Amino acid sequence: MTDTPARLLSLLSLLQTPREWPGSELAQRLRVSARTIRRDIDRLRELGYPVEATLGAEGGYRLVAGAAMPPLLLDDEEAVAIAVGLRAGAGHAIEGVEEASVRALAKLEQVLPGRLRRRVSALQSATVAATRGDGASVDPRTLTAIASAVAGPERLRFAYRARDGAASRRLVEPYRLVSTGSRWYLVAYDMEREDWRTFRVDRMAEPTATGARYTARELPMDPVEFVRRGLHGRETHQVDVSFAGPCEALPEWMREHVVSGAGAGPEQESGAGAEAGTAAGVRVRFESADSPEWLAARLALTGVPFTVHGPEALAAGARALAARLAESAGASSTPAPGSPTHEGAPGAWGG
């Protein structure tokens, strides 16, 4: 193989397989001399790939972990597998990796050949993820379209449905995608309203980059803080709930709001954090702008029996949700022994 760039790519592809390659085997595979292999290994090292060599009759070369992440070469099957995984995770606001997942997905889909993009879409549409996300799911294609416009940067058009159901068309300069752990939000400068706005991504449809570039404006504050202020500008609830289970059973976002063991009163609280709870139960307090019934549904989705201490609106929302679910299941249904609604079961689902 006389084409040096092509040979380097082939060599790198072999080295990214987790094994040690004898120099003679690499030379045979690439149809070059052992001396050429040594020179090519030196070139890869200069490009930042940490290739380790071992001496002796059984010695050879292998790619090891370095100080920085070098570019990876993926074959068709690997690229499809990664894209499907990223799409499945990106549709839910997964705390800690959500924004990085969307950025990675946008980069990967930008370079995927058409034949692989069709395979990814076919696999995605034919499978269902058994996730336990407690927020609204979002089409990954919507997220990647927005992320690409942010990276451009390009102005973005989309259809939007407001909280009251009003429909509109928006033209914005997208600034950042923000995940709260349960929902995605887009922070953008609205061209028609000439002001910064926050948009819930699950209420956006048909996002289309216009191709019009722009110089990004400076947001007056951190985008996460901007989203939080927008949420807290609506009616909020001071949630106070006890869970009859260990802190580890709760979603990660909720663990940050643990204040004490489940039965403790305010004078017994030991401060926020997971260490404040006990195996017998934990007490959680946090502020939320969600509706009472949606809050009750989120609490129920933890799978841990709970008792509402406040506010009354949340207790009423839990009772309304329980009644609606019981009606859907049939009024004559008998709860199974040990279920949260069965007499004698630990904890309660309502307040």
Q: Could you tell me which residue, 266 or 169, shows the higher pLDDT? A: 169
* pLDDT of residue 296 exceeding 70: yes
Write out the H or E segment, with its range, that includes residue 314: helix 312-329
Burial per residue of 235-246, b for 16 or more beta-carbon CB atoms within 10 angstroms, e otherwise: eebebbbbbbbe
**Taking the domains of the chain in order of start, what are their residue ranges?**
4-63, 74-234, 237-329
Q: 337 versus 323: which is more confidently predicted? A: 323
Q: pLDDT tens digits, residue range 49-69?
A: 888 888 766 668 988 876 666
Residue of 45 and 277 predicted with greater confidence: 45
| CATH architecture classification, 4-63 | Orthogonal Bundle (1.10)
Per-residue pLDDT of 204-232, as tens digits, reads 999 999 988 888 888 888 888 888 777 76
pLDDT score of 178 more than 60: yes
Overall average pLDDT of the 261-288 stretch:
56
Q: Round to whole Å and give the CA distance between 257 and 196.
A: 30
Phi-psi sector, 261: left (phi>0), alpha (psi -120 to 50), beta: beta
Instruction: With a cut of 80, say whether residue 85 has pLDDT above it.
Output: no
Segment 87-103 mean pLDDT: 58
Mean pLDDT of the chain: 75
Contact present, 91 and 139 (Cβ < 8 Å): yes
Considering only 94-108, 132-146, 297-311, 326-340, which range has the smallest mean pLDDT? Answer: 326-340
Report DSSP state, residue 338.
T
Q: Is 276 a residue whose pLDDT tops 50?
A: no
Residue 31, Ramachandran bin (φ over 0: left; ψ between -120 and 50: alpha; else beta) = left
Question: Which has more pLDDT, 302 or 276?
Answer: 302
Residue 5 has pLDDT above 90, yes or no: no
